[in-house]
């Protein structure tokens, strides 16, 4: 072989080598917004102007974060400490504070470039919900429920809070840069994410205030190592199972790229497992999912019907698979799920309820604004033109106020961001 031919051959082999046996970058990143930076704007597609979309989002944020304290806002200032201002988001109906709402508030704040609100919520979370006691079964995580004065009401963890905390912190690091201490967002996210995967099993005594006693509890990491699924609770109080609405494959893909390198493959696999799980746990006709599920997709039979029906926790699942499609476009089955779900709700008319059996029997009549919001987000994955109807219903729905404004309002505001192309990867 001539010298110049050999050089060309070697150069070709060198260029080609990284592609052998691996996905190309475009394949690994899917064909969604992560790869293209093109986020669908469902409101604009429906004919609304960018000015009106911006005004609608800003108005909802202002009402829910800085509106009338007695009827509108869910965000309340709570003084300062050595780390600066603190603020909490409260469940108005139940008069408590939850890691769910705090972490939702943080991801909303970073998406809207509201650093002051983000930092104040994070400071309150670290001050009151974070478990620093090394002998506590929830050590290194956040208890899921407290009073507005910061006194813990529960000693246990609801992992969806940690999932949103981690993603919000990574977004903050990338959007604003890292500060010191609790405001070193990258370090805080890495530490929490590593514990969610690896934290050691701890047995400890926790108080049971209503019985005026303590009990021994054992708990470990927030993800099941074998099934690669998020747990409903890591506590030994329950046989392990999961919550479909806690499955966030769109986030797991990011964690595999941004988190501790030793766990990258685990999060990649967890994303695919969750995509399969959405199909297993949803009804084949209605695409409704239960609030809780076993790892194989079967129903968790517990006292009462909440666990086996489509109810408030379950609202969120359709948004999870639809945002995953929007960002990654890796699993076309998610499009089928959105089409089935929207077809079901279309069949129920314009004033459908919010609690159903999985087969579609209505159990509660209230037309919940939070469910209206999620059904619109499902349009990110839907293929049928009926999706426009659900987007328009969200557009015409006022910002939640009154007693239901916590859960309904946060789902509503996040849905505005999703449908207005403002819920982005930072």
Which tokens go with 376?
A: 């619109």
Q: Considering 313, 331, 401, 408, which one is annotated as catalytic?
A: 313
CB 59, CB 112: distance < 8 Å = no
| Mutual angle of helices 159-176 and 115-124, in 10-degree steps | 140
313 tagged catalytic: yes
Q: Considering 100, 163, 253, 401, which one is annotated as catalytic?
A: 100
364 tagged catalytic: no
Q: What is the CA radius of gyration of the chain?
A: 22
Among all residues, which ones are annotated catalytic?
100, 313
């Amino acid at each position: 072989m001539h010298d110049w031919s050999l050089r060309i051959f070697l150069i070709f082999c060198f260029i080609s080598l990284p592609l052998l046996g691996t996905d190309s970058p475009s394949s690994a990143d899917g064909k969604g917004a992560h790869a293209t930076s093109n986020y669908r704007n469902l409101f604009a597609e429906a004919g609304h102007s960018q000015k009106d979309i911006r005004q609608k989002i800003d108005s909802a944020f202002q009402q829910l974060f800085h509106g009338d304290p007695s009827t509108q806002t869910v965000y309340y200032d709570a003084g300062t400490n050595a780390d600066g201002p603190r603020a909490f988001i409260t469940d108005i109906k139940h008069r408590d504070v939850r890691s769910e709402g705090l972490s939702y508030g943080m991801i909303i704040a970073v998406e809207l470039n509201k650093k002051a609100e983000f930092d104040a919520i994070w400071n309150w979370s670290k001050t009151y919900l974070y478990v620093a006691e090394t002998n506590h079964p929830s050590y290194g995580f956040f208890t899921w429920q407290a009073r507005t004065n910061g006194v813990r009401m529960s000693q246990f963890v609801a992992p969806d809070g940690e999932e949103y905390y981690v993603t919000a912190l990574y977004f903050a690091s990338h959007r604003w840069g890292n500060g010191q201490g609790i405001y070193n967002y990258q370090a805080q996210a890495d530490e929490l994410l590593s514990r969610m995967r690896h934290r050691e099993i701890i047995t400890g005594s926790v108080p049971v205030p209503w019985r005026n006693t303590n009990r021994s509890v054992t708990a470990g990491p927030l993800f099941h190592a074998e099934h690669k699924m998020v747990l409903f609770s890591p506590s030994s109080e329950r046989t392990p199972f999961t919550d479909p609405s806690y499955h966030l494959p769109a986030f797991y893909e990011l964690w595999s790229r941004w988190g501790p390198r030793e766990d990258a493959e685990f999060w990649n696999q967890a994303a695919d497992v969750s995509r399969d799980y959405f199909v297993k746990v949803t009804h084949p006709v209605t695409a409704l999912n239960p609030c809780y599920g076993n790892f194989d997709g079967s129903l968790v039979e517990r006292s009462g019907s909440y666990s086996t029906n489509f109810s408030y926790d379950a609202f969120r699942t359709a948004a999870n698979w639809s945002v995953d499609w929007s960002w990654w476009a890796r699993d076309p089955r998610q499009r089928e799920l959105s089409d089935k779900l929207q077809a079901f709700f279309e069949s129920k008319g314009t004033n459908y309820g919010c609690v159903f059996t999985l087969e579609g029997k209505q159990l509660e009549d209230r037309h919940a604004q939070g469910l209206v919001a999620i059904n619109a987000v499902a349009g990110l994955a839907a293929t049928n033109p009926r999706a426009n109807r659900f987007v328009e219903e969200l557009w015409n729905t006022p910002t939640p106020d009154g007693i239901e404004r916590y859960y309904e309002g946060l789902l509503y505001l996040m849905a505005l961001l999703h449908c207005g192309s403002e819920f982005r990867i930072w």
